[in-house]
């Protein structure tokens, strides 16, 4: 393994340790898609309208279980690779989560 790859892995491990509220996700997805506007520019607390301006129309939208708000699923594309990505919103329409899975996958993980 070269030094650059090792450095990236160490940095990702460090970031994972700091993100206690983040679901476990594949770090390769983050490295591949980190410059996508939805990944790079969307932050917790943003409004649904701000997210739509950044990411455009989602692939799907669904209500979250237990009345927790809603969730938008997107498909990110880069160099022929596709990756699911979600942005979830609380009851006030503010971002409360995002990550590399569909909204349906998020709901399944949260129900376990």
Q: List, as one string, the DSSP characters of 55-71.
A: H-S-SEEEEPGGG--EE
Residue bearing tokens 């009345």:
67
Read off the pLDDT of residues 42-58 as tens digits, 9 standing for 90 and up. 999 999 999 999 999 99
**Sheet strands side by side (includes 70-78):** 60-63, 70-78, 81-89, 95-99
Q: 5: pLDDT confidence band, cut at 50, 70 and 90?
A: low
Domain map (residue ranges) of the chain: 25-111
Three-state DSSP class for residue 30: helix
> What whole-number distance in Å separates Cα of residue 98 and Cα of residue 105?
12
| CATH (one of 3.40.920.10, 3.30.1450.10, 2.40.37.10, 3.40.640.10) for 25-111 | 3.30.1450.10
Whole-prediction pTM = 0.75
């Amino acid at each position: 393994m070269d030094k650059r790859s090792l450095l990236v892995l160490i940095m990702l491990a460090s970031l994972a340790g700091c993100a206690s509220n983040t679901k476990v996700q594949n770090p390769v997805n983050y490295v591949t898609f980190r410059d996508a506007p939805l990944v790079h520019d969307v932050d917790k607390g943003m409004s649904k309208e701000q997210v739509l301006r950044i990411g455009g129309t989602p692939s799907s939208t669904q209500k979250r279980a237990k009345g927790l708000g809603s969730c938008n699923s997107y498909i990110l594309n880069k160099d022929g690779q596709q990756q699911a990505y979600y942005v979830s919103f609380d009851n006030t329409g503010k971002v409360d989560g995002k990550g590399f899975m569909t909204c349906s996958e998020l709901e399944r993980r949260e129900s376990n």
